[in-house]
């Protein structure tokens, strides 16, 4: 029997890679999308086929995480074997401007799904997209036993959702697990997150469209990995015998300044000539340093990242240049071909 997966947030960075991965694994994939006045499916257009096609395995359904009725309709009709809950207001800076909305979608959205799964009694497995932001001000390295100290409305909402996931597991015996993922990036990363903002900024500078890139705190340090490697972990977490929580990250941290240096110099530019600071991008409370201790994932999931920090900057700069119709600098594609001869995702 073909397994059925439901992905919330399928139009996002992770959702699009996960959909591609699950199709590759032979799943029937259902995704929740929001109605928008402009097209918002560009990350999944390349895997979409006409639902009338007898071989179609990807199906999209309108829904919103703040709307219980629509989501319940989807869960009861599809009866998925696995739910990957990735939908969220996921931007930390924006969560300071929209704290209540973020709590509703990013926090309560999880409860809505868990409650539907509990009531549907189909044995559906549940993956919660938890975040390293939950560790916030707790010093690194961070693992599954590290206390949370959230530093934004987004992180507070994720901590709530994390505990609801554990409570539904403990209280109702649902196979519900948290993947606590550290930052992961790719050519499909949203344009306002810092890595993509930088690689896209470089392209616009090289294309002569802009001279300057306006940035916030350059001292913040993050553990940055490569998104396709991380979505594979989501699947592995749900294939375990028992539901458990896992930290996923590279174990290396770099500052935003280092990302700027590495990416600009790859493109033959000096970042200091182009970067300006705009306090608008500072956050009222910042997360200074995140470093994953992902030993449990290595031991139990057999997972180890292959793409390094420097590979990541190259892959992203080259993809943005290609996207803008410019010549890539060099070896972004070669890096992927060498590290992933068995690659299951489409190059962007």
Instruction: Give the catalytic positions in this structure.
Output: 131, 133, 154
The site partner of 68 among ligand GDR, ligand NDP, none (C-beta below 5 to 8 Å per kind) is: none
- Is 212 labeled as ligand-binding? yes
Are 320 and 199 in contact, with CB atoms under 8 Å apart? yes
* C-alpha–C-alpha distance, residues 133 and 245, integer Å: 15
The site partner of 318 among ligand GDR, ligand NDP, none (C-beta below 5 to 8 Å per kind) is: none
Is the N-terminal amide bond of 141 cis, ω within 30° of 0? Answer: yes
Stretch in the footprint of ligand NDP (CB under 6 A) among 82-90, 194-202, 256-264, 305-313: 82-90
The site partner of 14 among ligand NDP, ligand GDR, none (C-beta below 5 to 8 Å per kind) is: ligand NDP
The answer to whether residue 144 forms part of the interface with ligand NDP (CB under 6 A) is: no
Nearest CA among 309, 326, 328 for reference residue 318: 328
CA-to-CA dists, residue 3 to 22, 26, 28, 129, 323, angstroms: 9, 8, 6, 21, 35
The answer to whether residue 165 forms part of the interface with ligand NDP (CB under 6 A) is: no
Stretch in the footprint of ligand NDP (CB under 6 A) among 34-42, 111-119, 264-272, 337-345: 34-42
Stretch in the footprint of ligand NDP (CB under 6 A) among 12-20, 238-246, 288-296, 319-327: 12-20
The answer to whether residue 99 forms part of the interface with ligand GDR (CB under 6 A) is: no
What does the block give as tokens for 254? 């770099």
The site partner of 237 among ligand NDP, ligand GDR, none (C-beta below 5 to 8 Å per kind) is: none
The answer to whether residue 138 forms part of the interface with ligand NDP (CB under 6 A) is: no
Are 205 and 194 in contact, with CB atoms under 8 Å apart? no
**Residue with smallest beta-carbon separation from ligand NDP:** 12
The answer to whether residue 87 forms part of the interface with ligand NDP (CB under 6 A) is: yes
The site partner of 78 among ligand NDP, ligand GDR, none (C-beta below 5 to 8 Å per kind) is: none
* C-alpha–C-alpha distance, residues 133 and 130, integer Å: 8
Q: How far is the CB of 215 from ligand GDR (least distance, A)?
A: 4
The answer to whether residue 88 forms part of the interface with ligand NDP (CB under 6 A) is: yes
The answer to whether residue 307 forms part of the interface with ligand GDR (CB under 6 A) is: no
Output the known binding site for NADP(+).
212
Binding residues for ligand NDP, per CB under 6 A?
A: 8-9, 11-15, 32, 34, 36, 40, 64-66, 86-90, 105, 129, 131, 181, 183-184, 190
């Amino acid at each position: 029997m073909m397994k059925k997966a439901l992905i919330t947030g399928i139009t996002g960075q992770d959702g699009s890679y996960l959909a591609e991965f699950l199709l590759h694994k032979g799943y029937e994939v259902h995704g929740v999308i929001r109605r928008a006045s402009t097209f918002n499916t560009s990350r999944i257009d390349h895997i979409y086929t006409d639902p009338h096609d007898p071989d179609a395995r990807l199906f999209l359904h309108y829904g919103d995480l703040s709307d219980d009725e629509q989501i319940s309709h989807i869960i009861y009709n599809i009866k998925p074997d696995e739910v990957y809950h990735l939908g969220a207001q996921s931007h930390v800076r924006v969560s300071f401007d929209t704290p209540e909305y973020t709590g509703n979608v990013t926090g309560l959205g999880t409860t809505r799904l868990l409650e539907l799964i509990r009531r549907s009694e189909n044995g559906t497995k549940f993956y919660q997209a938890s975040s390293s932001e939950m560790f916030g001000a707790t010093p690194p390295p961070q693992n599954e036993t590290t206390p949370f100290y959230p530093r934004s409305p987004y992180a507070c909402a994720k901590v709530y959702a994390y505990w609801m996931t554990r409570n539904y597991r403990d209280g109702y015996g649902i196979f519900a697990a948290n993947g606590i993922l550290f930052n992961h990036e790719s050519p499909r990363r949203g344009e306002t997150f810092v890595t993509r903002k930088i690689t896209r900024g470089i392209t616009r500078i090289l294309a002569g469209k802009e001279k300057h890139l306006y940035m916030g705190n350059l001292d913040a340090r993050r553990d940055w990995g490569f998104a396709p490697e991380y979505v594979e972990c989501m699947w592995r977490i749900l294939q375990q015998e028992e539901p458990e929580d896992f930290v996923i990250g590279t174990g290396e941290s770099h500052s935003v300044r280092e990302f700027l240096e590495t990416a600009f110099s790859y493109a033959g530019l000096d970042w200091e000539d182009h970067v300006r600071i705009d306090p608008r991008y500072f956050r009222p409370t910042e997360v200074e340093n995140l470093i994953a201790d992902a030993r449990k994932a290595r031991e139990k999931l057999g997972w180890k990242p292959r793409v390094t920090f420097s590979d990541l900057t190259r892959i992203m700069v080259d993809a943005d240049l290609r996207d803008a119709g410019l010549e890539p600098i060099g070896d972004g594609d070669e890096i992927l071909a060498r590290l992933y001869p068995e690659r299951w995702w489409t190059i962007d």
